[in-house]
Amino acid sequence: HEKFMRKAIEMAEFALASDETPVGCVFVHNGEVIGRGINGTNASLNGTRHAEFVALAEIIAKHPQSILHATDLYVTVEPCIMCASALRQYGIRAVYFGCLNDRFGGCGGVMNIHADEGVDPGYPVYGGLFREEAIMLLRRFYVQENEKAPEPKPKKNRELKT
């Protein structure tokens, strides 16, 4: 798993150098990388351009969707709820990730999309691979300014409606 997690880390480093949130992934089928992706939300101004979605689009353009049933995902950060759901619907074989996503994680960090009751079969997840490297990439991103981030909304005039 080390070889493919290193490739995911390399993709995340490329994302960081491109002023994107440093999330990178590779999809592996029979020991070969068949898709790779980085977070592309800043460049595209599209909140759905997560690394997993970018890579899935590459795979589906070249292969039948059924290839994903025998394909593993290696990603630096736990897939978010949206990505975890898509992976389940596509029938991914397994997911290996670096660090938990404690705000939006869909594979144990917040929700268990990969394993909860559902129509589509679940998939196993294995977290903590290259965890420190994944966290450090995120820290390097979040200490800098993200000019593409939406303006925060002031909270001083908000009221709790009961």
- For the stretch 75-89, pLDDT in tens is 999 999 999 999 999
- Checking if the pLDDT of 153 tops 90, the result is no
Give the DSSP H or E segment for 72: strand 71-77
- What pLDDT was estimated at residue 144? 84
Name the pTM for this structure: 0.89
Distances (CA, A) of 105 to 39, 100, 110: 15, 7, 5
Distance from the Cα of residue 82 to its chain's centroid: 9
Please state the CATH superfamily assignment of the domain spanning residues 2-142 in this structure. Cytidine Deaminase, domain 2 (3.40.140.10)
Confidence of residue 135 (pLDDT cuts 50, 70, 90): very high
User: Which pLDDT value is given to residue 2?
Assistant: 96
**Sign of CA pseudo-dihedral 39, 44, 16, 67:** positive
Which residue do the tokens 């999330």 mark?
23
- Condensed to tens digits (0 to 9), the pLDDT of residues 26-64 reads 999 999 999 999 999 999 999 999 999 999 999 999 999
Give whole-number Cα distances, 152 to 62, 98, 161, in Å: 40, 28, 21
- Whether 24 and 75 have beta carbons less than 8 Å apart is answered as yes
Provide the annotated active-site residues. Answer: 52
